[in-house]
Structure formats: C-alpha cells, structure tokens
Amino acid sequence: MRTSRFVLAVLAVLAGLAFVAVAPPRAEAQQGLQLGFRGGVSVASASLDMEETFSKGNRTGFVGGAFLDYSGGIFGFQVGAQYTQKGVDLKLGNVVDEFSLSYLEIPAVIKLGIPLGAIKPSIFGGAGLGFITGCDSGGENCENDFESTDVSGIVGADLAIYLGAISLWADGRYHVGLSNISKASDVVGDLKNRNWTLQAGIGFRLGG
C-alpha cells in the first residue's frame, strides 16, 4: 500500500513538471517590458591586416550593464547599455604589445523565442554601437591611436526564467566588428574588434 502511494506521488510530481514544461506561456509574465541588469565575462580578440605576421592572444575582461526587453510572444526585441572590456595581445617574436580597450556600448537585437511555460529560450541578431572610454598599452594611454566609435554585428541566444514579476536571465553572444578601429593605417591596415560575452542577470516586469 505504501509502495503504491509512493509511486502515485512520484507520478504526480512528474506530471506537474511535465505540465510546467509544456504549459502555454503566461502572458502576464512573459509578454510586455522587462527592465534588467546583467554582468559577466568578455573574451576578446581582433582581426587585423598587417605587413608583418603577428600571433594574437585573447584578452578576458568584464561586461555588464542594463537592458530593456520587450516580448510580444514569439517575436521581441531588446536594447541595452553596457560597459565592455575588449582588446588584443599582439606578439612578434618575444615582443608582446598589449592593448586593453574599454567601451560604452548600445546593443539592439531582434529576438525569436519559444515560450515553454515559465521558461523561454530565444535566438537573436542585431547590431551595436560602441564609444571608446579608455585604452591602455603597457601602462600608457593609447586612446588617440583608435577611433572613437566601434560598430559591430551581434548574434546570440538567451534563456529567460519568469518567476512572476521577476525574471532570471542567461545570455551568450558574439560581437563581430564591422568598422576599422585603428587610426595608424600605416602600421595596421584594418583592425576590427571581436569578442564573446557570457552574462547572467535579473529582470523586473514593468507595468501591471
């Protein structure tokens, strides 16, 4: 008898989990605007066109900021403002030049998602505009060697977990530079940022 009750209890729990996974999206939780804050890691490098052959190394830094996410069901969009550390290590023989760049970025993406009960995975694509806020190379300011703006394309995916008026977010994206950021065209013919970002954050539903 106890075994039967235990089996029934397990089946009830499994049925509840299955319902959560396949239940239709809760419109009041998932649709509309979410204001969120997130942070994480940026793994950056660059593409470049130089007369001499350099080996490149990645630079790892911080990325974080705020975002505004709108969901209308399957389709949505998201805009944000974030601080991002980028850069590249260039090595020629035993000589290493380290360039640490920082930007204030404004990304905007269009999203396609599948509501699955309380969770919603999405893919997205868009563009970002960055404004340089600093540059360091071996302890020296190198901001004058780079353009003040950086235009990039963005592709990625995120996962939102809706818990009433609060949501939890995981976000991964790739930024590919579309504009040459180097002013030293006689040394570097074409230098473009590249970076991956992985972030986690929290969101708050706006409105009723």
Task: Return per-residue pLDDT of the chain as tens, 208 residues.
Answer: 444 454 445 445 444 444 444 444 455 557 889 999 999 999 998 876 554 455 566 788 999 999 999 998 899 999 999 999 998 776 655 555 677 899 999 999 999 999 998 999 999 999 999 999 998 887 788 888 889 999 999 999 999 999 989 999 999 999 999 999 888 755 556 888 999 999 999 999 997 6
Q: What is the pLDDT of residue 31?
A: 80
pTM, to two decimals: 0.78
The three state secondary structure string of the chain is: CHHHHHHHHHHHHHHHHHHHHHCCCCHHHHCEEEEEEEEEEEEEEEEEEECCCCEEECEEEEEEEEEEEEECCCEEEEEEEEEEEEEEEEEECCEEEEEEEEEEEEEEEEEEECCECCEEEEEEEEEEEEEEEEEEECCEECHHHECCEEEEEEEEEEEEEEECCEEEEEEEEEEEECCCCECCCCCEEEEEEEEEEEEEEEEEECCC
Q: What is the pLDDT of residue 39?
A: 98
Q: What is the pLDDT of residue 64?
A: 98
CATH code of the domain covering residue 97: 2.40.160.20
Q: What is the pLDDT of residue 87?
A: 83
Which residue range is the domain that position 171 belongs to? 2-205
Q: What is the pLDDT of residue 137?
A: 81
Query: How far does Cα 33 stand from its chain's mean position?
Result: 19
Q: What is the number of structural domains in the chain? A: 1
